[in-house]
Amino acid sequence: MEEKELILRCQQGDEAAFEALIHLHEKKVYALCRRMCRSEDDALEAAQDTFLSVWRGIGSFRADAQFSTWLYRLATNACLDILRREKKRGGDVSLDDEETPIEPRDTAPQPEEAVEREETQRLVREGLYSLPDHYRQVLILRELEQLSYAEIAEAAQLDVGTVKSRISRARQALRNYLAASGNFFHRSTSNTTEGKGAEKP
């Protein structure tokens, strides 16, 4: 069943169609939440909140709108809510071994390369978590989710100029973090922030 048909059935209260819609998008939503949130538990909670918001709001979803963009907006808002709540609690930052796929892994990397790559990924992950929430939001949507500026603007409910400005500042802040860590313009991060970002206007 196509996505549009599932959405239509969901709007008519079809719970089976809603479950199918969740199944269609749950991996993508969780991946986004995991990159935005600081722990697996928070990511799971954000993903659940996202789909709860979908169920509550599907009735007013416009058929001519892009469902994935609406879904990104709900997911990022759910993550931001959790991050704000975490800050009010004064919770500690939890950085685990979840990998942020800044670049694909080689099928059989040499041990030294694997160690270097893991260290770079760790630093990038920490750098992302060091950014203000609104910077991390747009940078993840741009670099990791590969959304266009227009799609990010719609998902984050910002104008395109603000999106571009925040992405530029987020990239610079991430560069500064890596520079302070002795990894300025490391191969795996510079290719991502400079190459990918420049290709998709």
| Mean local confidence (pLDDT), 85-104 | 46
pLDDT > 80? residue 33: yes
pLDDT > 70? residue 78: yes
pLDDT > 70? residue 8: yes
3-state helix, strand, coil in the chain (%, to 5): 75, 0, 25
pLDDT of residue 183: 54
Q: How far apart are CA 64 and CA 139, in angstroms?
A: 27
Output the pTM of the full model.
0.62
pLDDT of residue 162: 93
pLDDT of residue 198: 43
Give the position of tokens 């479950």.
Answer: 19
| Mean local confidence (pLDDT), 78-100 | 60
All structural domains of the chain with their residue ranges: 1-92, 101-201
| Residue 61 exposed, middle or buried by CB count within 10 Å (0-12, 13-18, 19+) | middle
Architecture (CATH level 2) of domain 1-92: Orthogonal Bundle (1.10)
DSSP letter string over 119-152?
A: HHHHHHHHHHHHS-HHHHHHHIIIIIS---HHHH
Residues of the chain with pLDDT > 70: what percent? 72
Task: Single out the residue of 150, 99, 169, 62 nearest to residue 141, CA to CA.
Answer: 150
Q: How far apart are CA 5 and CA 2, in angstroms?
A: 5
- pLDDT 10s digits, 145-175: 888 899 899 888 899 999 999 999 998 888 8
Q: How far apart are CA 171 and CA 179, in angstroms?
A: 12
Task: Single out the residue of 26, 12, 11 nearest to residue 61, CA to CA.
Answer: 11
CATH number of 101-201: 1.10.10.10
| Mean local confidence (pLDDT), 181-186 | 54
Angle between helix 160-180 and 111-130 (nearest 10): 130
Let me know the angle formed at the C-alpha of 163 by 159 and 165, rounded to the nearest 5 degrees: 115
- pLDDT 10s digits, 41-64: 999 999 999 999 999 999 999 877
pLDDT of residue 49: 94
